[in-house]
Copies of this chain bind each other. A is one copy, B any other.
């Protein structure tokens, strides 16, 4: 028997609601296999911060490290100053656990309405770098609050960091039918970082001669995501551009209620983390209105990461079937979770 030690960070707002359904589906998917899951809940997020002033202590991090994977709901609340939980908790997890591959599939499922008039087939994946770029927290401010204030943000990009995520993206492209990789950056303006990314894609391409590549400036990428999303197969990009493009990608494939993500440490030196792309949505929290589908699809990515491919496919198929029939039905978070779980079981 495979025993899965899962760290659960339900977090804030709708986080707890969607994670509950994600766990239900996970347990259902494992029933009848010889794998079983043991969960440890971590009390992290706005409540903990208000109570203790802590975001993520060394002890929390050490405890989380002992797990096989992490399921995260959502982090963030308007009652906490902007950036405190994002940088002190969510990004700290991604950085400390070396989640250098932030994997975000964008797929328009049958039955799902896209806001695009002619979406065509949409089935691509964004490989977003997760540990560098403008997200490193490198920068600062001088003379804050005076007319002479100056604030800087430094994007840090290393050959080491870029190469490993580019190689991962190539490997993913190589096993997809279209075998195509698009680098998105802005190398005509951000010349230092951009040229490092470009040279790295050219160099690593030699290891994957079957994979074709092209390049788009980030501004042009937003155009193609609107006019011809079918052109994309695998996108590799930096942390900030990946953040932006994956929200747009979610929007054209039915919204962030459906967008899953995996923060992967491919070297498995620390647990990977699975989370919906959406935030804590305080405006609808506690009302049973949140769509747990993104979390359920993140659970499918978790299963795949743990080598439980058949179970991952089962969960995905259950979601796909649910999506075909959901149009026009108003269901609670728990109802959606239960119905998907029933399909997984059935």
Q: What residues of chain A have their CB less than 8 Å away from a CB belonging to chain B? A: 76, 82-83, 86-87, 91, 113-118, 134-135, 139-141, 143-160, 163, 186-196, 198-199, 218-220, 222-223, 225-227, 240, 243-248, 250-252, 255-256
Q: Tell me which residues across on chain B come within 8 A of A115, comparing CB atoms.
A: 116-118, 226-227
Closest 4 CB pairs of A and B: A219-B247, A222-B248, A149-B159, A151-B192
| Distance (whole angstroms) from the CB of A235 to the closest CB of chain B | 14
Residues in B with CB closer than 8 Å to A188 are 76, 82-83, 86-87
A290 to chain B, nearest CB (A): 16
Q: 5 more A-B contacts (CB under 8 A) besides A87-B191, A116-B116, A153-B157?
A: A113-B117, A139-B155, A152-B154, A152-B192, A225-B248
Query: With the chains together, A297 CA to B333 CA distance in Å?
Result: 48
User: A149-B159, A159-B146, A222-B247 given as contacts; is B190 within 8 A of A134 (CB)?
Assistant: yes
B117 lies within 8 A of A152 (CB): no
Are A158's CB and B150's CB within 8 A?
A: yes
- Contact indicator B134/A189 (Cβ below 8 Å): yes
B-side contacts of A193, CB under 8 Å: 139, 151-153
Contact of A149 among B83, B158, B252 (CB under 8 A): B158
CB atoms of A189 and B91 under 8 A apart: yes
Contact A83 B156 (CB under 8 A): no
Q: Which of A146, A153, A252 has the most CB of B within 10 A?
A: A153
Closest CB-CB distance, A312 to chain B, in whole Å? 27
Contact with A83, one of B87, B141, B191, B240 (Cβ below 8 angstroms): B191
Which of B76, B144, B189, B196 is the one whose CB lies under 8 Å from A141? B196
A275: min CB distance to chain B, Å: 15
- Minimum distance in angstroms from A166 CB to a CB of chain B: 13
Report the bound CA distance from A151 to B285 in whole Å: 41
A155 to chain B, nearest CB (A): 4
Closest B residue to A223 by CB, please name it. Answer: B251
Contacts known (A115-B226, A152-B157, A222-B244); A139 close to B251, Cβ less than 8 A: no
Chain B residues with CB under 8 A of A250: 223
Q: Which of A141, A152, A243 has the most CB of B within 10 A?
A: A152
Most B CB contacts (10 A, CB to CB) among A86, A149, A196 go to: A149
Q: Are B222 and A189 in contact (CB under 8 A)?
A: no
Selected contact of A152 from candidates B118, B156, B225, CB within 8 Å: B156
Partner of A227 from B146, B154, B220, B255 at Cβ < 8 Å: B255
Residues of chain B contacted by A251 (CB below 8 angstroms): 222-223, 226-227
| Chain B residues closer than 8 Å to A141, beta-carbon distance | 192, 195-196
Give A117's nearest chain B residue, CB to CB: B117
Q: Smallest CB-CB separation from A159: which chain B residue?
A: B149
Nearest B residue to A247, CB-CB: B219
A148 touches B159 (CB 8 A): yes
Bound CA–CA A186/B86 (angstroms): 11
Collect the chain B residues with CB atoms within 8 Å of residue A198's CB. 82
**In the complex, which residue of chain B has the Cβ closest to the Cβ of A190?**
B153
